[in-house]
Chain A
């Protein structure tokens, strides 16, 4: 111990050891916070177990196969069901630790203690063992996922939350590794937080202001036992929806993970995204853990307090509402505390701006699985002071059939992935009959689902990591998941996709043109709908997964962002950029309240009006495949007058001459985008939209969409007008 350490110890009376256990100087610790916390001269370790009969702290030198010391908690170090001990004089850099809990093994009563195992701290803020992505570990390691102590001394500078209003977000869903792992990425450290940081200029240029990252909590990419049936290559747990440690950033996503610097590298990414005006939302998985069912590994919760952390049947079996073997007992008071503490940690320590909750319907189930009318966890998260301004987004369903889209318990705070939006838009663009009415509702922010909650409650998406990419949605009629080794039985079957006449890649100019148009049509709908648009990374450049709609296990070109497409598909990229910029420029598209179809501003026009081939005459009949809407700029968010915006989508295989609604005197329609027109990238530069040749009509081609803006005609334009 250095003289400096001695001085610090003497400064505080609580930094004085009272016991010596297994050669270490210790004293009774503080029960809170849980986990390992540096304190003057030492580290405070705290762990909960209600049913354990004995608990030990197990210390390792970093990477050593066997423990360096094992420190049983004396009875006087236990407060309630919490074991706490401060250990002095530890070398934090070379320290790994875990717990050994003893107690009954009686599955019928819910107890599965196993004193042979070293358990990972559920509150571990750093985990080693999978420091480098995909590196083969020692499979005989007695303790594969090792907790470490972290220093929370990152230099955040002046970073503060951006607090972008939810309705102004354009979310970009991406995967830390997949975004830059492709050899074409050109970054210094492909597949890492640092690599993603290097691509921030691309995101800025694209115009998105929020990235939603697939799971970054520590998981084991090697826990997938399957192989590719054709190549024999190992399949991974690539997406990472199988959390090992909820407080620790995935080390394998950090180029510096082998130095234990993953927390800093990830924080650096968040800080730089914020500097670029981009928020960070994490996809979090609280519905199940990597321990799986009774045949899965004992990593942490099972061995510490199985009956607290998991939902169990009356005879002690695991409920499986998650479809993955176990279900976290989210509304148990101790587990609620865990979830809340975890999210607070990510907000306070990592400056995270929001969370998307995987299979969130499970979060409102009671310990016996019954859906609760007023689930305490969801209420607690909604009102928590630390989470007060974070975005909370629910995937409002689970794997056991609880489907809550539109009625997820929200407390005025929660948004939802709108699965009905996805399905309606896909069906309409595919050309299915009977969808026009529903499409209109979805484009208006789904007031049937979210009336009273505001339009931002609807996170609109057409594609996500789970399912077809945008390109594949218009290139495949069926899924092609053979590479997943499950006989093409995995992944969704109800994709509402259409291959445009040929399955898979096509050399036909006609098919290729139609696919491009269809992708653009989908993007037009997404980015002009009320609600919060979410784009799947790579869709803006036509990324393909060759028809695989469930690439959870594919750590290869099937999943990775191919940066060669940025040039190859510049047409689609520029179109997407333009649409995003258009959305940002027109607050009338981002109103917080749902439109009511009335004129509350005295503008002479309702906030939204619906049209068909004839202006003011929408056609909601089954055979109709044309929907047009106009938003009146006087009703724009914040009372700032905006242009009128007219959007018409023709999913029909025939063209239609659209009669345009008449604008106020002195105003005229200008062309922003037409997915079927021959012009660079299918659109005109923002603010330079030319006047329409014919002020009252527009010829809309088959499978096409048009976006017009209505605004006062400057003198020069008037002179140019026909």
Chain B
């Protein structure tokens, strides 16, 4: 499935919508989008994952990248991750760096 990533910023809330498969081959584009989001000076980053079919370990690592790139003051929320993805995020302990929110 084709990977797609879109960024929009509204009132200092950056929203990244992901679709398709986030793996090693697509993580680079996700990182670039996070870079763009960080540059907006947003105080919150929302990663919408409802349309994300699959997240590999490279995708999980991207959440670490986002945390480090955005800085400690920025709230990061992953919204609508499928249960297997959310479960893996929790087991790896990444849920301490971000907020996991149901859609």
Contacts and interface: CB of A to CB of B under 8 A. Distances in A.
A binds B: yes
B92 A264 contact: yes
Contact of B91 (A5, A155, A188, A260): A188
Interface string A244-277: 0000000000111001110011011101100000
In the A-B complex, list the 3 residue pairs whose CB atoms are closest, starting with the nearest. A268-B93, A93-B24, A194-B91
B58 A153 contact: no
B68 interface: yes
A115 interface: no
Interface of B: 23-25, 28-29, 31-32, 56-58, 60-61, 64-65, 67-68, 87-88, 90-94, 96-97
A255 B91 contact: yes
Interface in A1-29: 2, 4-5
A153 B92 contact: no
Contacts of B31: 4
A384 to B, nearest CB: 28
A697 to B, nearest CB: 56
A374 interface: no
Interface range on chain A (Cβ under 8 Å from partner)? 20 to 34
Contact of B88 (A157, A192, A259): A259
A264 B94 contact: yes
A451 interface: no
Interface string A604-629: 00000000000000000000000000
A93 B59 CA distance: 10
B91 A93 contact: no
A603 interface: no
Contact of B68 (A153, A192, A265, A268): A153
Contacts of B91: 188-189, 192, 194, 254-256, 261, 265
A200 B91 CA distance: 14
Contacts of B64: 153-155
Given A92-B24, A155-B97, A264-B93, A259 B60 contact: yes
Contacts, number: 73
29 contacts: A4-B28, A4-B31, A4-B32, A92-B24, A93-B23, A93-B24, A153-B61, A154-B64, A155-B64, A155-B97, A188-B87, A188-B90, A256-B88, A256-B91, A256-B92, A259-B57, A259-B88, A260-B57, A261-B88, A261-B92, A264-B92, A264-B93, A264-B94, A265-B92, A265-B93, A271-B93, A271-B96, A272-B93, A272-B96
Contact of B61 (A151, A194, A197, A265): A151
Interface of A: 2, 4-5, 91-94, 151, 153-155, 157, 188-189, 192, 194, 197, 254-256, 259-261, 264-265, 267-269, 271-272
B67 A155 contact: yes
Given A93-B56, A151-B61, A267 B28 contact: no
A94 B88 CA distance: 18
A512 to B, nearest CB: 40
Contact of B58 (A93, A157, A189, A269): A93
B93 A153 contact: no
A616 B52 CA distance: 76
Nearest to B64: A153
Given A93-B57, A153-B65, A259-B57, A2 B93 contact: no
Contacts of B61: 151, 153
A194 B61 CA distance: 18
A223 B31 CA distance: 41
Nearest to A194: B91
Nearest to A94: B24
Contacts of B90: 188, 194
B19 to A, nearest CB: 19
Contacts of A267: 93
A254 B32 CA distance: 30
Query: Which of B32, B60, B67, B93 is most buried by chain A, counting CB atoms within 10 A of its CB?
Result: B93
Nearest to A265: B92
Given A2-B28, A259-B88, 11 more contacts: A4-B32, A93-B24, A93-B56, A155-B68, A157-B97, A188-B87, A188-B91, A256-B92, A259-B56, A261-B57, A264-B93
Nearest to A93: B24
A260 B32 CA distance: 24
A158 to B, nearest CB: 9
Contacts of A189: 91
Contacts of B56: 93, 259
Contacts of A268: 92-94, 96
Contacts of A192: 91
Contacts of B96: 155, 157, 268, 271-272
Contacts of A4: 28, 31-32
A343 to B, nearest CB: 23
A197 B24 contact: no
A155 B64 CA distance: 7
Contacts of A153: 61, 64-65, 68
A153 B97 CA distance: 13
A92 B28 CA distance: 13
Contacts of B60: 259, 261, 264
A255 to B, nearest CB: 4
Contacts of B93: 194, 197, 264-265, 267-269, 271-272
A5 B24 contact: no
Nearest to A2: B28
A91 B25 contact: yes
Contacts of B68: 153, 155
Contacts of A260: 57
A91 B30 CA distance: 16
Nearest to B25: A91
A157 B28 CA distance: 24
Query: Which of A5, A197, A256, A269 is most buried by chain B, counting CB atoms within 10 A of its CB?
Result: A256
Nearest to B55: A259
Nearest to A263: B92
A261 B85 CA distance: 13
B69 to A, nearest CB: 11
Contacts of B24: 91-94
Contacts of A272: 93, 96
B36 to A, nearest CB: 12
A19 B28 CA distance: 26
